[in-house]
Structure 1
Amino acid sequence: MVRSSNAGVVDRKLEGLASPADRTWGVTLAIVGTFLFALKSIFIKLAFAAGANATLVLAIRMTLALPFYVGVLWYLRRREDRKPLQREHVIRATTLGFLGYYLASYLDLAGLEQISAQLERLTLFTYPAMVAVLAWLFLGEQINRKIVLAIALSYFGVLLMYGQERAFTSVGDTSLGVMLVIGSALSYSFYILFAKPVMKHIGSQQFTSLAMIGSTFFVGVHFAATQPLTSLVEAKPIVYVYGLILAFVCTVIPSFMINEAIMRIGATRTTVIGSVGPVLTMMLAIFVLSEPSSLQHFLGMAVAIYGVSLVARK
């Protein structure tokens, strides 16, 4: 995650106030959350292989996760030390859920229908470069030479892998897939840019629950408008198994872990730890999905990750 200079000050204050136990717990949450998120692309690809499409997978994933988020929000609102939720914060959280968990998720899944899990994960991972540009456009942050270099390296790495993937496969539209995932990264970047101020007011758990509940509503509207309800009945049982794993193992658990890690150890450390995510996805894609890979794939991955790390450490 890329932060503005003000956010960097907040991160340093958080790190200074955090106890050693808090820092250890935050690092652990970031590591485990990163690994669970890395599994997402793999199980989505397996669901596609079982006959599901992007809209169906997203609908099953979010519907199965919804009761958990409702339960967490209900529990948090029953606590004696709860603060009243302001209407403004609820609206902002659900709106950000639209960007971060509905639109970004749908575009990501649609892109995965066209490209490999390796290229999808690396393309999505470049969102910190987008956050840097958006912070410059909307928050007046400066972009120095180091940030420009970081952005260039991030997308050069994607370009390396993109060129190799086009040579490897004749299935799917690689260009369309990359553009869809870039759109997903852009939507998620807006979410990242504006989420933390709301989290500071209502807490990461309440924010995550509200954002996910709001996004599930938008997913439901999308599904009802584009898919016959019979597709839910006709889906193979294994699709629901994959959907359940996506809902809890790859969505519910890591979403709370990553947001809590950000609150405990700051955005910079969480992002640096998260940089191993694309590598994990690449390894899993090669060994589980038998996706082709090459030296150029690994080179593109290394270049992009190095570029993202420069943005995160600005």
Structure 2
Amino acid sequence: MSCRLDKPIDERLPQPAIEPDIDIGIRQAADDRFRSGVTLAIAGTFLFALKSIFIKLAFAAGADATLLLTVRMVLAFPFYVVVLILLRRKSDCPPISRTDLLRSLMLGFLGYYLASYLDLSGLEYISAQMERLTLFTYPAMVAILAWLFLGEMIDRRIIAAIVFCYLGVYLMYGQERSLDGGQNVPKGVLLVIGAALSYSLYILFAKPTMQRIGSREFTSLAMIGSTFFVGVHFALTHQVSDAIGAAPIIYVYGAVLAFVCTVLPSFMINEAIVRIGATRTTVIGSVGPVLTMGLAIAVLGEPTSLQHLAGMGIAIAGVSLVAKK
């Protein structure tokens, strides 16, 4: 008696249910990675938003811009030295040329000394809300500078984004002058615009060096260089006794600014970019000025108005246009 095989034996035998489980596991891992990336982006944005609040609190405790910046950089300095040493100990780490070394140190002047000093100085004259929104326009500045120096094209979307950004700043500026009396607001806004311009130049010219030596090495070198410039500035404008005699709370605020509002969120945002992409991270980061506004009202008791909210919304819409591919 013969037996007819309608199907190959391997097809008639029970097949292990492995592939569906693998697919479910992959999807679950991807979902977990996405959710953790969103969480990191939100947490990093929140910690960045705290920066202006703690600066204002430090000013109220008696610090000035130079002293606070010095405390912040000196406390963060050992961290970046250790990171650089650990990175350079790797066996596959190529040597850094003298040109890239000097360029990294000098770019630290623009990105972490000059920009930070102008930003802190501006905060002595304007509200945390106004400062955060004005500084937030730097992506529009980067687009303009890339057009001027690198020959990149500016399309209608970028032009609209730039118009929205500065229309939003203008609306808040007008309201800020009416609330403050108008005496210090122009000076404060100009200082923060200078900070945004300095940081924009840093972003524009840092990328080639960063690609050659690595982002972590570059950041560490730039921070080390900026600490040197901050130290020189402090030595030329202050006495050592100014730092020794500062209230202990100023050092607490400086430590919070160095690690909680700078180092920690920078790692969170970078990891969020890896997990969910730069576009989603940028969109989430757009709520930063709104968080700062809420914190400034709740913690500092700063006044606000519908014009403040309108200016904030228009500027955020402009930055979102710049961020889109």
Please confirm whether the aligned pair reaches a TM-score higher than 0.5, indicating the same fold.
yes
Per the TM alignment, residue 201 of structure 1 is displaced from its structure 2 partner at its CA by 2.3
Residue 179 to residue 283, structure 1, CA distance change in 2 (3 Å): same
Establish whether residue 255 from structure 1 lines up as the match of residue 266 from structure 2. yes
Q: Distance in 2 between matches of 1:144 and 1:226?
A: 45
**Size of the alignment, in residue pairs?**
296
CA offsets per residue over residues 167-216 of structure 1, 9 Å max, x none?
Answer: 11238600000000000000010111122332222222212111111111
- Higher alpha-carbon deviation: 181-190 or 169-178: 169-178
- Tell me how far apart the structure 1 counterparts of residues 268 and 98 of structure 2 sit (CA, whole Å): 26
Asked whether 1:288 is paired with 2:299, we answer yes
Larger radius of gyration: 2
Check if 1:69 corresponds to 2:80: yes
The match for 2:139 is 128
CA contact (8 A) 1:115 1:172 kept: no
* Distance in 2, Cα, partners of 1:23 & 1:93: 33
AA aligned to 1:90 is L
Q: Does residue 193 of structure 2 align to residue 198 of structure 1? A: no
> Aligned-pair distance for 1:227?
1.2
Shift of 1:80: 2.9
Alignment of structure 1 residues 46-65 onto 2, 5 Å? 46-65=57-76
Correspondence for 1:7: none
Contact 1:113/1:172 (<8 A) preserved: no
TM-score in terms of structure 1 length: 0.88
- Name stretches of at least 5 consecutive residues in structure 2 with no aligned partner: 1-28
TM-score by length of structure 2 reads 0.85
Instruction: State the match for 1:95 in structure 2.
Output: 106
2:265 and 2:205 mapped to 1: Cα distance? 20
Shift of 1:265: 5.4
- 1 CA distance for matches of 2:53 and 2:206? 27
Q: Contact 1:204–1:256 (CA<8 Å) still a contact in 2?
A: no
Could you tell me how far apart the structure 2 residues matched to 1:119 and 1:237 are? 28
Alignment correspondent of 1:114: 125
Shift of residue 120, structure 1, vs aligned partner: 0.1
User: Percent identity between the aligned chains?
Assistant: 71
Distance 1:53 1:34 in 2: 25
The one-letter code sitting in structure 2 at the alignment partner of 1:217 is F
Superposed counterparts of 1:163-202, under 5 Å: 163-170=174-181, 173-202=184-213
Letter in 2 for 1:55: T
CA contact (8 A) 2:34 2:276 kept: yes
Q: Is the 8 A contact 1:97 1:212 kept in 2?
A: yes
Q: Distance in 2 between matches of 1:280 and 1:298?
A: 12
Match of 2:19 in 1: none
Question: 1:26: Cα distance to partner?
Answer: 5.0
Q: What is the RMSD computed on CA atoms of the aligned residues?
A: 2.0
Superposition deviation, residue 270 in structure 1: 3.3
Are 1:80 and 2:91 matched, yes or no? yes
